Structure 1
Amino acid sequence: MLIFVLTGCDNANQINQEALQKSNCDANQACIYSSGVKVWLSNETISPETPFSINLDLPEHLKIQSAKLESITMYMGFIPQKFTKHESIYKSETMVGICSEKNMLWQLVLNLTNTQTGEPITHFYNFYVTY
């Protein structure tokens, strides 16, 4: 059993590195993508089972199709995100569950559509949750 658990930890580290490379941004920091989308968290430090906000600033020609949070460290399903517009910023009030890991890497998967071209755009935003 211990060998299985240790092997799982090694795979999680490999997945974490791949997820970080896929996002092109530093975890837990504000990120501006080449599409003009800006993503940031209400708090730089996120704790499990504590509410926080995910904020988006979108160019006018981009529309949110779907968004979800998924854990990268270990499978915990996904948490759909609903963004509501507050003046010019979109916000999603959310929280993530607690797990046996003290540091969990989570990922926002943001699916957008360019309303001018119909082109789909996907951005990945990573953040750590610690307790």
Structure 2
Amino acid sequence: MTRRFIFALGVVLCVVAIWLFVFYLPSPPLKVTSTTLQSAVGCDFSEDQCVRNIGDTVYRLTGTPSVFKVETPMTFTLQSTALSALSSVEGHLEGRDMYMGKIPLFFTYQNGKFVAQTMVGACTESSMIWTMHLVVEQPNGSVEQLTFDLQSFN
């Protein structure tokens, strides 16, 4: 009787250990490099483009028109010194200090640049800070995350 009990207990423990191994073992982390904005306001497209340096790669974000106005179409252009090596750019905008939902950005490759067009809704404040989150994927599978803060005006 005790042998059966010990055997059954051993089987149960093995099943639990396998289950924990399969479902709770952390997967290997992606090679992700992050950069965040240093200033509070962020990108000012009327003065210049936003630039991020990650290793040897330089990313430049520009916006047209130069003033980010609510309920007005805005075109974002991402250029990179490693642009020929990029396989995709995905992203979204979200309010930094106020939840306004996530606004997806659909980038397409056009004339050597990744371009996305979007529009943000009006806020009760006269201006609002939006955070743009971008995920840039290289053909080898490595991923870089870029973050830009943008100010919109009513």
TM-score w.r.t. the length of structure 1 is 0.75
1:84 is the counterpart of 2:108 = yes
Distance 1:90 1:76, change over 3 A: same
1:37 to 56, 59, 83: 59
C-alpha contact 2:89 2:114 (8 A) present in aligned 1 = no
Paired residues of 2:107 and 2:114 also in contact (CA < 8 A): yes
CA distance in 2, matches of 1:54, 1:28: 13
Kindly indicate whether residue 152 of structure 2 is the aligned counterpart of residue 129 of structure 1.
yes
The 8 Å contact of residues 28 and 126 in structure 1, kept in 2 or not, is answered as no
Counterpart position of 2:85: 61
Identical aligned residues as a percent: 24
Shift of 1:120: 1.2
Partner of 1:22: 36
Which protein has the larger Cα radius of gyration, Structure 1 or Structure 2? 2
Q: 1:108: which partner in 2? A: 132
The letter of the residue matching 1:126 is D
* Contiguous gaps of at least 5 residues in structure 2: 1-34
The 3 A distance-change label for structure 1 pair 88 and 65 is closer
Aligned pair count reads: 110
What is the rounded CA distance, in whole Å, between the counterparts of 2:130 and 2:149 in structure 1? 6
1:17 equivalent in structure 2 = none
TM-score (norm 2): 0.64
- Tell me which amino acid in the other structure corresponds to 1:28: D
Over aligned residues, Cα RMSD in angstroms? 1.9
| 4+ aligned runs moved over 4 Å, structure 1 | none
Consecutive unaligned residues in structure 1, runs of 5 or more: 1-20
Following the alignment from structure 1 to structure 2, what is the Cα–Cα distance between the partners of residues 65 and 85?
9
The alpha-carbon deviation at position 110 of structure 1 amounts to: 0.4
